[in-house]
Structure 1
Amino acid sequence: MILITDGGSTKCDWIAIHNNGEKAADKIRTKGLNPAIIAEKKLRKTVRKSKELMALANEVTHIFFYGAGCGTEKPTLLLQSILQSYFPKAIVEVREDTYAAVRACINKNDESAVVCILGTGSNCSYFDGKNLHQRVDSLGYTLMDDASGNYFGKQLIRDYYFNKMPDTIKVAFAHKHNLDSDFIKYNLYKQANPSAYLATHAEFMFINKDSDYIKNVIKDGIRVFSENMIMQFKEELKTSPVHFAGSIAYFAQEEIKEVAKEFGYTVGNFERRPIEGLVSYHINNL
Structure 2
Amino acid sequence: MKQNTYLIADSGSTKTDWIVARPGKSPFRFHSGGLNPFYQKKEEITVILEKEVLPYVTTPVDEVFFYGAGCADKATSRPIYDALVDALPSAEIIEVASDMLAAARGLCGHQPGITCILGTGANNAFFDGTHIVHSIGSLGFWLGDEGSGSYLGKTLLVHFLQNELPEDLHKQFEEKYPGTNRLAVLEKVYRQPFPNRYFATFSHFISKNITHPFIHKLVGDAFTLFTEKYILKHQDVDKYPVHFTGSIAFYYQEILKSVLAEKGLIAGRILKSPMETLFDYHLQRDL
- Normalization by structure 2: what TM-score? 0.92
Whether the 8 Å contact between 2:45 and 2:79 is mirrored in structure 1 is no
Aligned partner of 2:284 in structure 1 is 284
Decide which of 11, 22, 26 is 1:23's aligned counterpart.
26
Tell me, what secondary structure is at the counterpart of 1:269?
Answer: strand
Aligned partner of 1:219 in structure 2 is 220
Q: Which amino acid aligns with 1:225?
A: F
Tell me, in whole angstroms, the C-alpha distance in 2 between the residues paired with 1:157 and 1:39.
30
Aligned partner of 2:72 in structure 1 is 71
CA spacing shift, 1:24–1:219, aligned 2, 3 Å: closer
With 76-85 and 4-13 compared, the bigger mean Cα shift is at 76-85
Aligned partner of 1:170 in structure 2 is 170
Whether the 8 Å contact between 1:151 and 1:198 is mirrored in structure 2 is yes
Aligned partner of 1:33 in structure 2 is 35
Tell me, what secondary structure is at the counterpart of 2:76?
Answer: helix
Shift of 1:127: 0.6
With 152-161 and 174-183 compared, the bigger mean Cα shift is at 174-183
Q: Which amino acid aligns with 1:70?
A: C
Tell me how large the CA RMSD over aligned residues is.
1.7
Shift of 1:255: 1.1
Tell me, what secondary structure is at the counterpart of 2:117?
Answer: strand
| 1:83 paired to 2:84 | yes
Q: Which amino acid aligns with 1:22?
A: K
CA spacing shift, 1:114–1:280, aligned 2, 3 Å: same
Aligned ranges 1:82-161 → 2 under 5 Å: 82-90=83-91, 91-106=93-108, 109-161=109-161
Q: List gaps (5 residues or longer) in structure 2.
A: none
- Normalization by structure 1: what TM-score? 0.92
- Displaced runs of 4 or more, over 6 A: none
Shift of 1:95: 0.9
Q: Which amino acid aligns with 1:81?
A: D
Tell me, in whole angstroms, the C-alpha distance in 2 between the residues paired with 1:234 and 1:75.
28
CA spacing shift, 1:143–1:154, aligned 2, 3 Å: same
Tell me, what secondary structure is at the counterpart of 1:73?
Answer: coil
Tell me, in whole angstroms, the C-alpha distance in 2 between the residues paired with 1:183 and 1:24.
43
Aligned partner of 1:202 in structure 2 is 203
Tell me, in whole angstroms, the C-alpha distance in 1 between the residues paired with 2:283 and 2:238.
32
Q: Which amino acid aligns with 1:241?
A: P
Give the paired residue count: 280
Shift of 1:22: 1.6
Provide, for residues 40-75 of structure 1, a one-character-per-residue CA deviation record: whole Å limited to 9, x for no partner: 33222211222x524527611111111111113322
Aligned partner of 2:9 in structure 1 is 5
Whether the 8 Å contact between 1:135 and 1:232 is mirrored in structure 2 is no
Q: Which amino acid aligns with 1:125?
A: A
Identity %: 33
Shift of 1:97: 0.5
Shift of 1:24: 5.3
Whether the 8 Å contact between 1:105 and 1:243 is mirrored in structure 2 is yes
Whether the 8 Å contact between 1:58 and 1:88 is mirrored in structure 2 is no
Tell me, in whole angstroms, the C-alpha distance in 1 between the residues paired with 2:221 and 2:215.
10
CA spacing shift, 1:58–1:254, aligned 2, 3 Å: closer
Decide which of 45, 48, 53 is 1:46's aligned counterpart.
48
Whether the 8 Å contact between 1:104 and 1:271 is mirrored in structure 2 is no
Provide, for residues 168-196 of structure 1, a one-character-per-residue CA deviation record: whole Å limited to 9, x for no partner: 11122222234233332232122221111
Tell me, in whole angstroms, the C-alpha distance in 1 between the residues paired with 2:262 and 2:151.
21
| 1:192 paired to 2:196 | no
Tell me, in whole angstroms, the C-alpha distance in 2 between the residues paired with 1:101 and 1:24.
19
Q: List gaps (5 residues or longer) in structure 1.
A: none
Q: Which amino acid aligns with 1:270?
A: I
Tell me, what secondary structure is at the counterpart of 1:71?
Answer: coil
